[in-house]
Amino acid sequence: MTFPTDYGAIIDRIKNIDPIRYGKTRNYIDGDVTFLSPYISRGVISTKEILEITFNRGFSPKEIEKFIQELVWREYWQEIWWSKGESIDEDLRHLQIDVLYKGMPKSVLAAETGVTGIDQGIESLYHSGYMHNHIRMYTASLICNIGKRQWYIPAKWMYFHLLDGDWASNALSWQWVAGSNSDKKYYANQENINRFCHTKQTDTFLDRSYEELAQMSCPDQFIADANLELKTELPPRNDIQIDSTIPTVLYTSYNLDPNWLQDVKANRVLILEPSHFEKYPVSQKVLDFIMALSQNISGIQVFVGEYKELVERYSPGEIYFKNHPFTRYFKGIGTDFDKIMPISGDFSSFFKYWNKGKKSVQW
């Protein structure tokens, strides 16, 4: 799978979704998934826009409910992030139990777990910057529940490589698998993996019943630690031109919407804050993807530095930005991202959020 960065190609991808087949096949590695997450995560398109385009193609809400629900999962995790803030970096609802190790297992980093479906998924993550949802769940379960590792560092490893890296969907899904954001740990056995990955492996350490998996000790191949170094090489710091008599529109690696405020005469600046990428590093492939997407925004300049430095150095006039949990300290005129469900707050389960949200939309 490839991920074009030209805006027209992204919109074409939305128009070619088959949301009905999606509901039936999304769990299979070759199922009809949309491959849209890199563009949603980077703020190029919104969940609401995807749904509007899909409705305009004649699909009814009832026949594509599964598809809508998945889009809303992303919004749900974002809402949790807004209400919990940085505490999503720690065990959210329960302490993760049965943890023996921290860090990243060497065999997973090397894509040598011995489970073909997972190893191929990890190779494909390195190669394409994308991993199918089921493989993300299998990998997280293997590391946290079979390998008995704390979720945080492996989550950062996966986030580092994902073009669609979204800290809410990432951290909260890892915690969901590890049982610290759910009521039980998620396990997948070999039979399950074979079914959804079309493999035929037997006699692996996962070729057991679910009761046995939950009781088993960590297999030897998951004990050795990897030497994990996650670092983003940002472009060199540079000078930009700001006309302080006109507004400055700020873009980030989470907001690369080329249509936003296009009719306003403004300075347009993609800000890459070193402190952010130090805490949440991304690979060169991801950074290149972000830079390429930013080219859809006409007149964009790239500023490598902190928000405070930008303000002190250039005294920009009015600043416009999109509200995001990572940039709560931006000051000026903040706009919320478009959502399908116009509700906010801390909901204890997805279905509470979904049921309340459904009452507030008119389809």
Give 70 or 306: the residue with its C-beta nearer to ligand FAD. 70
For the chain, where are the alpha helices, taking DSSP H only?
A: 7-15, 19-25, 37-41, 47-56, 65-84, 106-109, 116-128, 133-141, 152-161, 167-178, 190-197, 210-215, 274-279, 284-294, 307-314, 350-359
* Long-range interactions of 58-67: CB distance < 8 A, separation 24+: 59/19, 59/20, 61/363, 63/19, 63/20, 64/19, 64/20, 64/22, 64/23, 65/23, 66/22, 66/23, 66/26, 67/17, 67/19, 67/22, 67/23
- Kindly state the smallest distance separating residue 236's Cβ from ligand FAD, in Å: 28
The number of angstroms, rounded, from the C-alpha of 250 to the middle of its chain's C-alpha atoms is 21
Amino acid at position 31, single letter: G
Residues 6+ apart with CB under 8 A from 279: none
- The backbone torsions φ and ψ at residue 300, rounded to the nearest 5 degrees and listed phi first, read -70, 140
Give 159 or 314: the residue with its C-beta nearer to ligand FAD. 159
Give 28 or 300: the residue with its C-beta nearer to ligand FAD. 28
- Kindly state the smallest distance separating residue 305's Cβ from ligand FAD, in Å: 25
SS3 142: helix
- Kindly state the smallest distance separating residue 245's Cβ from ligand FAD, in Å: 38
CA angle 255, 260, 263 (to 5 degrees): 150
- The backbone torsions φ and ψ at residue 268, rounded to the nearest 5 degrees and listed phi first, read -125, 120
Give 78 or 107: the residue with its C-beta nearer to ligand FAD. 78
- Nearest-angstrom CA–CA distance, 345 and 82: 8
Give 74 or 148: the residue with its C-beta nearer to ligand FAD. 74
Instruction: Return the structure tokens found at 334.
Output: 């903040």
Give 96 or 173: the residue with its C-beta nearer to ligand FAD. 173
**Torsion from C-alpha of 58, 64, 70, 73, nearest 10 degrees:** 90
Question: Is the distance from CB of 4 to CB of 43 less than 8 angstroms?
Answer: no
Give 232 or 301: the residue with its C-beta nearer to ligand FAD. 232
Question: Is the distance from CB of 327 to CB of 346 less than 8 angstroms?
Answer: no
- Kindly state the smallest distance separating residue 117's Cβ from ligand FAD, in Å: 15
Question: Is the distance from CB of 72 to CB of 353 less than 8 angstroms?
Answer: yes
Give 137 or 297: the residue with its C-beta nearer to ligand FAD. 137
Please give the residue ranges that form the binding site for ligand FAD (CB under 6 A). 26, 33-37, 40-41, 70-71, 73-74, 77, 133, 136-137, 140, 158-159, 162, 164-166, 169-170, 173-174, 177
Give 126 or 318: the residue with its C-beta nearer to ligand FAD. 126
- Kindly state the smallest distance separating residue 1's Cβ from ligand FAD, in Å: 9
- Kindly state the smallest distance separating residue 77's Cβ from ligand FAD, in Å: 6
- Kindly state the smallest distance separating residue 9's Cβ from ligand FAD, in Å: 15
- Kindly state the smallest distance separating residue 3's Cβ from ligand FAD, in Å: 10
- Kindly state the smallest distance separating residue 293's Cβ from ligand FAD, in Å: 15
